[in-house]
Structure 1
Amino acid sequence: MSSTNENRKAYFIGGGLASLAGAVYLLEEGGFKGENIHIIEALPILGGSNDGSGKKQDGFVCRGGRMLNEETYENFWDLTSRIPSLDIPNISVKDEILAFDHANPTYAKARLIDKDSNILHAHDMGFSNDDRLQLLKLFFTDENTLDNMTIRDWFGEQFFTTNFWYMWQTTFAWQEWSSLFEFKRYMHRMILEFSRIDTLEGVTRTPYNQYESVILPLKSFLDKHQVGYSLRKTVTDLQFADTDNITVTGIECQNADGQTEVIRVAETDLVFFTNGCITDNTSNGDYKTPAHYLPENPPSFLLWKKIADKKPNRLGNPLPFFSKPDETKWYSFTATFWGDKMLQLLEEYSGNKPGSGALMTFKDSSWRMSIVVAAQPHFKAQGSNTTVFWGYGLYPDKVGDFVKKRMIDCTGEEILTELIGHLHFQEHEQAIKESVINVIPVMLPYIDALFQPRAKADRPAVVPVGSTNLAMISQFVEIADDMVFTEEYSVRAARLAVYTLLGLDKEVCPVTPYQKRPDVLAKAVHTAYRH
């Protein structure tokens, strides 16, 4: 541990996983003192997109969920191996998660469901020979030739009717107009999941929602080191030295009371910026109220654009990601019930007890709706007499099949009605609804922003060329070979940022090249042809 950094300060703009991870690495590897590390967050709570909240009497909510993977999340497991569990003495968060997951393995028996509520045989990927040829061709195509191309640009109509597409799309939240570049990255990075996409056996589950299982232990660790947090404080601009280099000299902020201030940044201090947040401008509804669609002026985009304009071609280009919210939005919902009537019906229908299944996708749903039932309780405050599940729709502008309204206009009750229709549970509808505490819909205007078609240069480097004290740590930075929309990407970005700015001679865990292993490739080829 370096003693030369004891008096240096570090500022993290944004309070999500990347910032918390970066603070850990500054403490553990960089020799920083906790009281010299400051995390600035506009919201009243840390955690960024790793959220989970609510009360038993009001209902619980997660805006989204992230799948973890034991084999491929190299830096995430390094980080969590350093953090003590809050619930089990003398073990790490990593060991706690993996022990829970091994005791509750995933094996989905109802991945795809048709319009007649039949569970489909999804072992067959459904490819034509042309689909296989195009997948193979993409696998070996130079990603640098794929700027601004979409998945639809590459594949024919039949590809979008395959079992593979329905499962791959809903597992990771792809749209047909999503970035082909990113789709290719997923083909490489998630090749182990290709052969088990119909069961999702590769999914690693946390004991509770990720806020309670990951964020709270991280915060507790940082609290013990006296790391400082400024909540309800919005960073509105960064000041730079008048040089060709990128050197932050000030952080302009607005406090909750409307007062403004400028935090002075010394040349030896470090600034880490989460440039772009996929949960900007989210809105919650309830059982009787739709969530509101409020896409205007996402704050992380405004700040990113403001500083990128000051240093052209060096800090990325946020426009491709944050200028088309109608293409990046989806609608999620969390349902909370007294008792387990609904979950018992789902278990009998799917053959999966809570926590053993995965996404159940209604492939003919006009909303392209999916649900997942986690092990109960999913929130510590649930108690034994409350149950929850989560779901989402990828096409919120479409009119429902049973509720003749756009999903974006639906209340929690209407979403539940639509789901009951797809499951053909109408005979149980009254009993189900009598047990409802709340169904909370959430509108997320920018949740898919990281998948938007763009040029490779639109994402900045973690430490831009010429930067002396600024790093970018988000899902919108460019990291060779890795894929966005993962916990791993946030932690990898933070670790790269810390090691690079401090000039540490330490290796960030490399991406494991499973796509080059002959046994993995052979299994993938077999999967493409299986029936």
Structure 2
Amino acid sequence: MHDSNKHAYFIGGGLASLAAAVYLIEDAGFKGENIHIIEALPIIGGSNDGSGAKQEGFVCRGGRMLNEETYENFWELTSRIPSLEVPNISVKDEILAFDHANPTHAKARLIDKYGKILDVHSMGFDHDDRMKMLKLFFTDEHELDHMTIREWFGDHFFTTNFWYMWQTTFAWQEWSSLFEFRRYMNRMILEFSRIDTLEGVTRTPYNQYESVILPIKKHLDKFGVDYSLQRTVTDLIFKDDNGITVTAIQYQDADGQTGAISLQEGDICFFTNGCITDNSNNGDYKTPARYLPDNPPSFALWKKIALKKPRLGNPDPFFGKPDETKWYSFTATLRGNKMLKLIEAFSGNKPGSGALMTFRDSSWRMSIVVAAQPHFKAQGEDTTIFWGYGLYPDKTGDFVQKRMIDCTGEEILTELIHHLHFEQHEAEIKESVVNVIPVMMPYIDALFQPHAKSDRPPVVPRGSTNLAMISQFVEIPQDMVFTEEYSVRAARTAVYTLLNIEREVAPVTPYNRRPDVLAKAVHTAYR
């Protein structure tokens, strides 16, 4: 156990930090009590959240898609973590068993303004769309710095079934980064041919906080990992030389008390440089969520240290335009299953089998997803929930004459009921409501913002002796951001690199070079 006296400090308590802690204990011989996770929120889990109670309603800020074939390091990590529900199996086996028993096959992926389910087997491309897609596939991504999707494709592309489905599955905007879009096309090429049914989506038994974060946290608790909650790191102090060596971590607690932690020789520091749920805010059935974009803490710290050490990346392109990176989500909690039964009859999908339903013509570009019930362990049999989001929160609704950003949970539910043409059931649905919790997230799409490749630092920056960056804002060639896999891959890379561990980080599987997969993709483009 060669590293048993070293200490490791984590700034941020999300999936990447928890994953790195597992690798430190199991692959690097760290003592659990020498691992310190510092988190500004009162709870561990970062953007993998899920909370609430039957009486006041449940909330997930976002929905995270897993994928069985392409999440190489995520599955390796979860294969090490014992299930909390089923004795003698891993979290990986628990998730995959649940998913195989509840396969996804969306029958109502796109819905028009008349409430008609659209046939989306055809991608809807014209010749120009196909040529542009092909050209992008073969373009070197180094030529695509700062370019947007809109600058590459013509107007027709943004009216295709493909765009509506791909956009809402992954939360793209027309002004999103073209080279991130290209990486998705390469990395998710298996999904291209099944984007109309989302058969590639892997589901967890419950929300991801309870299915992923909690089991990892309980596993780390057995080793005595140390957590400091409601503590915000305000600065990193570096050794005064040309390298990158952290000597101290300065922080402020929720009560205003400040302090510093000194790092000794051999200690290491991991920083989640940029959090997409920074400054999120919840409303309720009668109150809109508030838009509070100022001074996101993870960005403030990243900016501060990047000014001291230029090899730590450039956060400005990602966190400089919250009006471009925000969207509004909502979680509805209902007594009984009236609404879910109506959605099931309309869509042909029982809860948990349907993935996203997108209202193509909605001005908010609204989508909903109904998970298998219960989605929270505390939900109870008499309670149902569903989740949704709008990509254009500044637009005025089609039925509620307000911007989505200004809407209460009740107003969002009203808009949804009208898109589904359930008006005759509106009173009964609303009588069953426990809560509809809207969530404003100013930076949720920050990782897709146009930028230069050099704006994201490597996981272990050149010249670093003890600092690694682990987040959606590090540069990992071939992989795609906005995924659980990216966090775990960054974490594993960080631990193995900083500690010179001669083990392989599972490589990206090159499906984009398999002839059978490419042939299927070409066929799909002509469907």
**TM-score bucket of the superposed structures, by smaller chain:** over 0.9
Alpha-carbon distance in 2 for matches of 1:267, 1:407: 52
Find out whether 1:278 has 2:237 as its counterpart. no
Q: Please state how far the C-alpha of 1:211 moved relative to its aligned partner.
A: 0.1
Alpha-carbon distance in 2 for matches of 1:124, 1:467: 50
Alpha-carbon distance in 2 for matches of 1:176, 1:432: 35
Alpha-carbon distance in 2 for matches of 1:482, 1:16: 19
Structure 2 length-normalised TM:
1.00
Tell me the equivalent position of 1:51: 49
Secondary structure of 1:105's aligned partner: coil
Alpha-carbon distance in 2 for matches of 1:324, 1:108: 34
User: What is the aligned residue count?
Assistant: 527
**Contact 1:267–1:469 (8 Å) recurs in 2:** no
Q: Please state how far the C-alpha of 1:6 moved relative to its aligned partner.
A: 0.4
One-letter amino acid of the counterpart of residue 273, structure 1: F
Alpha-carbon distance in 1 for matches of 2:172, 2:334: 30
Tell me the equivalent position of 1:457: 454
One-letter amino acid of the counterpart of residue 269, structure 2: V
Tell me the equivalent position of 2:203: 205
Match 2:63 to one of 65, 71, 77:
65
Superposed, which structure 2 residues align to 1:28-427 within 5 Å? 28-312=26-310, 314-427=311-424
One-letter amino acid of the counterpart of residue 340, structure 1: N
Alpha-carbon distance in 1 for matches of 2:154, 2:493: 38
Alpha-carbon distance in 1 for matches of 2:421, 2:246: 59
**Contact 1:247–1:267 (8 Å) recurs in 2:** no
Residues 256-311 of structure 1 deviation map (CA, whole Å, 9 limit, x = unaligned): 21111110011210000000000000000000000000000000000000000001
Alpha-carbon distance in 1 for matches of 2:14, 2:254: 19
Q: Please state how far the C-alpha of 1:96 moved relative to its aligned partner.
A: 0.1
Alpha-carbon distance in 2 for matches of 1:439, 1:505: 49
One-letter amino acid of the counterpart of residue 239, structure 1: I
Identify which range, 252-261 or 449-458, moves more after superposition. Answer: 252-261
Q: Percent identity?
A: 80
Secondary structure of 1:380's aligned partner: coil
One-letter amino acid of the counterpart of residue 297, structure 1: N
Alpha-carbon distance in 2 for matches of 1:433, 1:258: 42
One-letter amino acid of the counterpart of residue 214, structure 2: L
Alpha-carbon distance in 2 for matches of 1:505, 1:414: 55
Find out whether 1:529 has 2:523 as its counterpart. no
Gaps in structure 2 of 5+ consecutive residues: none
Secondary structure of 1:382's aligned partner: coil
Q: Please state how far the C-alpha of 1:190 moved relative to its aligned partner.
A: 0.2
One-letter amino acid of the counterpart of residue 264, structure 1: S
Residues 210-229 of structure 1 deviation map (CA, whole Å, 9 limit, x = unaligned): 00000000000000000000
Alpha-carbon distance in 1 for matches of 2:392, 2:178: 19
Residues 371-405 of structure 1 deviation map (CA, whole Å, 9 limit, x = unaligned): 00000000000010000000000000000000000
Tell me the equivalent position of 1:440: 437
Residues 391-428 of structure 1 deviation map (CA, whole Å, 9 limit, x = unaligned): 00000000000000000000000000000010000000
One-letter amino acid of the counterpart of residue 352, structure 2: G
Please, what is the CA RMSD of the aligned residues? 0.4
One-letter amino acid of the counterpart of residue 111, structure 2: I
Alpha-carbon distance in 2 for matches of 1:281, 1:487: 21
Moved over 2 A (4+): none
Alpha-carbon distance in 2 for matches of 1:256, 1:119: 49
Q: Please state how far the C-alpha of 1:4 moved relative to its aligned partner.
A: 1.9
Match 1:493 to one of 466, 490, 495:
490
Alpha-carbon distance in 1 for matches of 2:52, 2:453: 39
Residues 331-365 of structure 1 deviation map (CA, whole Å, 9 limit, x = unaligned): 00000000000000000000000001010000100
